[in-house]
Each structure stands twice: as C-alpha cells, then as structure tokens.
Amino acid sequence: MLSRCIGVDREVFAAEYWGRKPLLSPAGALPRDFCDLLSPETVDELIAERGVRAPFIRLAKAGQVLAKDSYLGPAGFGAEVADQIDSAKVLSQLASGATVVLQGLHRLWPPLIDFVQQAVADIGHPVQANAYITPPDNRGFDFHHDVHDVFVLQVSGHKRWVVHEPAHRHPLPTQPWTDYRDQVAERTAAEPVIDTVLSEGDALYLPRGWVHAAQAMDTTSIHLTIGVSATTALDVARAVVDELSCFEEFRASLPMCVDPAGRDEMSATAAKVIAEVVSRLRDNAALLSTAAADRLISRHQTRTRPEAVRPLTLLDAAEQADTVRVRWRRGLHATVDHGTDGRVSMRLVDKTITFPASCAPALEKILTGGVTDAGHLPGLDAADGAVLLRRLLREGVVVPA
C-alpha cells in the first residue's frame, strides 16, 4: 500500500518524511491512477444505491459544514430511517458548490477495506479512508490543520493545494486547529511550503499539524484522504501510568485538607507523587513496560479492525474442516498461554478460548499466518486437527485460505 502513496523508498520516507515534513509524489513515480480504489462511477453508486447513512457522509461549502437535513432524508417504505442520503438533495448541493465528504469508506467499500488493512500492516498505526468530491472552482474547507497524518490520492480532476508550516507541531486529537486560529492565520500570511495542482495519479503526504487548504480547478475533483492516527510517546506514557493502578499507594486517597486551589500545597503534593512514580518506574521497569505494552496492543486492536469474516462462508467451511485449508485472520491479535491445569488458552481482545494442552503446537503454527489444514497440524492427528479447525472457524479466528 505505502508504495502507491509515496514516490520515494520506504526507508527514505520513514527516516526523512514520516511525521516530519510533506512529500509531493507526482504520478510519474506512482501507478497511473487510483480508480481501482475509487472512481466517479463508484461515487455515484455509493450516493445513489448503497443506502449510505450519516455519519458516513457530510457536506461543506466555503469553510462551513452544512446542516444534515440539507442532504439526508428518509428512504421510504421498509427503510424508514431519516439519516440516509437523499441523492437529489446531494445533487442540488453539489450544483451550488458544496463539497461531499464520504467518510469511513474503509468500512463501506471493498477495495478500500483491503487497502486500509494493508496500510495498517505497512504503517503500524490506525488508518481510515475518506473521499472528497468538490465541484469546479470551489473549496470545502478553509485553511486548517489535521490532528492525524494524511496521504492525499488524487482520483480524478484537478485540485490546488496550498501548504504552510505548522502553527502547532504534532497536534494531539484534543488540539484542533480551531484552538489556534490566530496562529494559523499568521502562518497563511507567509510564503507556502507547497503550492501545487494535483492531477490524476498524484499523491501528497502531510504530517499532522501542517496548515493547508485545497480548491478544485476547472473540473470536479475527487480525491481520497488516507488518514493515519499515529500512536505517540504520550500514549506510551499514559499506558505506563495506568499500570500504576496495581500499586496500593497510587490508589490511596490524598490526605485530608489538601487545598486543590492552593498552588504551593498542590505543587508539593505533585512533587511527592512524581518522586514515588520515579521510584516505582526504576524498581519495576520490566513489569510496567510489559503491562503497558499489553495495554497499547489492546488499544491498537480497538482502533483497528481485523479482516472481516463472511459468516455463511465460515460456517460452511467448518462443516468441511477435515479438508479445508485455512490461514490466520489478518489483523487479529492473539497470544497463546500455557496453563497449569492441562489446558492452553488463546487470548483475543474480546474473549479467551481454551483447548487441551496437546493443541499448543498446532495453535502456535496457525498463529504464524501460514496456510495449513487438519492433516498438517503438529501434535495432532487428522481427526483431532479437524476438531480444532472447526472450532477456530466457528470462532472467526481462522478463515479459508
């Protein structure tokens, strides 16, 4: 995935651009287009035929987000919900210059579902996909910064992008551009870092915080924004601090008569707690780092989605577990724990599945992600292998290869 979004080697991108500075990648360094991911025909299909609902769509015009009733409505008999796209209303808004934003396409459109799963594997951070459809000579949003990194992929038409230095570097999700309006305005008064027109097949990487605005040229512009929500050192620190809850002294109440409005008294209390934190971190670094890692893994899993399963397909495969070839479900995280009770546990984010200890070698092999079948699982004969695969298929842990 990443190679389609950048015009330099992965190692160069990671060392020189990721989180640091923008990268403009003309189509000559990329595939000719991105129409396998999205196309004008796809946009029409999503708006007219797919029953898309809010919040998977929003509209904006000249920097203002439009009211939902200007493009949503009920879908008629059998689908009496009031928040589905009204395609005629969308047409009217497009004709008047509004930008359509199709959001969360990594949950709606199969090519982008696959693309985003690959992106998570390539980048290691949560990823989303939105599409922006802007009519000629119009813009949807004013100068602003995003709180996530973006890869802009120009699908069709032309769009002018003007990019300025950050007003606030590496903004967190709690630090939107609206908190820095004056600084953003000051940045846009200076010379831009990038002022270019993206054409079909061009790509642009913007780290979070870089101030930008975009306007369609003489044709309707469609571009994809692949957004990346980067995990930060602050996230790691929070995970470590959360693990301090296992120590009694950090769960205990502060003394009575601590005045929360008294800066000197509260500063002294904070200094004492900081000293206790430093002591615990020094004496329990290995324990806390391992526990914090588990928290971060769990957080990552809740912010990304493993490969979707097809329920009927998996149920049918489970009935043929003695012959079906399977592989690990991509993006699903699990660990295998060996108990002292003759059982082995597979721990997933949302559940724990137990098996006889004899299944441990087979589970370890399946976790490696290779393709296997009931007759080639270590430690089990073909019959027991089929029993194991049947269970894993029904639990949505493995999928047919």
User: What is the topology classification, in CATH, of domain 2-228?
Assistant: Jelly Rolls (2.60.120)
Query: What percent of the chain lies above the pLDDT cut of 90?
Result: 80
- What is the spatial distance between Cα 369 and Cα 252, in angstroms, rounded to a whole number? 45
Report whether pLDDT(31) > 70: no
Write down the pLDDT at residue 122.
93
Q: Which of the pair, 298 or 112, is modelled with greater confidence?
A: 112
Cβ(400)–Cβ(324) below 8 Å: yes
Domain boundaries, the chain: 2-228, 233-303, 311-400
DSSP 8-state class, residue 67: P
Write down the pLDDT at residue 192.
97
How far CA 140 is from CA of 46, 250, 309, in Å, comes to: 20, 48, 36
Write down the pLDDT at residue 12.
97
DSSP for 215-262? EE-SS-EEEEEEEE----HHHHHHHHHHHGGGSHHHHSPPPTT--TT-
Write down the pLDDT at residue 63.
87
Per-residue pLDDT tens over the stretch 194-224: 999 999 999 999 999 999 999 999 999 999 9
Report whether pLDDT(348) > 70: yes
pLDDT band at 117 (very low <50, low <70, confident <90, very high): very high
Report whether pLDDT(257) > 80: no
Dihedral sign from CA coordinates of 269, 270, 275, 278: positive
Average of per-residue pLDDT across 17-41: 89
Strands 326-328 and 159-164: unpaired
| pTM of this structure | 0.89
Write down the pLDDT at residue 396.
95
Q: 311-400 has which CATH code?
A: 3.90.930.40
Neighbours of 317 (CB within 10 A): 22
Which of 56, 61, 7 lies closest to 31 in space, CA to CA?
Answer: 7
Average of per-residue pLDDT across 315-322: 96
pLDDT band at 51 (very low <50, low <70, confident <90, very high): confident
Average of per-residue pLDDT across 55-75: 92
